[in-house]
Amino acid sequence: MSLCYRLRQGFGRLGAQLRPGKLELHWAREHLPEPYWRLFEAMPRGDQWHGLCVAQRLAAQGWQDADLLAAALLHDVGKANSGLTLAHRTLIILLRWLRVGWFERLTTSDQGWHRPFYAHRHHAALGAELLAVAEASPEIIALVKAHEGHGEAVSPGLAAQLEALIAADDAC
């Protein structure tokens, strides 16, 4: 990802934390059944802002599938309750930019001070697990699990939705 993208995303997250009243939570509430809404509420404000951006971008493009919009809102739920802060995110960006393998070493354990780094790297699988416990549809679980594009297979019927989700995620 480019520096401009990361700066825009960082300022958006910071704005969501400083001015939480600006988040259109009502939009998310209208699109999420109760068990999913509780997961969304557990997400940090910055991740809620990002999920809203992704979902509203998809809706503006004409996507109306309820499972896709729920997956867009919740695609980063695996980062919730991990202690992942803006400082961690900044350090992750720097470590990946340096390409020295430190980030990978920090993500080998989900214990102690490694937890935020682990959650960032494995958030797609962690989110899919949380959604399975919330009895989300197989489509939502598959989209969340595959949204990082690490080769997780989805059914041919979900391929276009996954492509749209990844593109909207990259744009937000």
Distance from C-alpha of 29 to C-alpha of 90, rounded to nearest angstrom: 30
Q: How confident is residue 18, by pLDDT bands cut at 50, 70 and 90?
A: very low
Distance from C-alpha of 78 to C-alpha of 149, rounded to nearest angstrom: 15
Residue 114 pLDDT exceeds 90: no
What sign does the dihedral 69-9-20-85 (CA atoms) show? Answer: positive
* pLDDT above 90 coverage of the chain, percent: 51
Average pLDDT over residues 27-36: 95
Please state, rounded to an integer, the average pLDDT across all residues of the chain. 82
The residue length of the chain stands at 172
Residue 11 pLDDT exceeds 60: no
Residue 83 pLDDT exceeds 80: no
Residue for token pair 């009243």 = 21
The pLDDT value given to residue 141: 96
Q: Which two tokens stand for residue 103?
A: 């980030």
The pLDDT value given to residue 93: 75
Instruction: Dump pLDDT digits (tens) for 32-73.
Output: 999 999 999 999 998 999 999 999 999 999 999 999 999 999
Average pLDDT over residues 18-43: 85
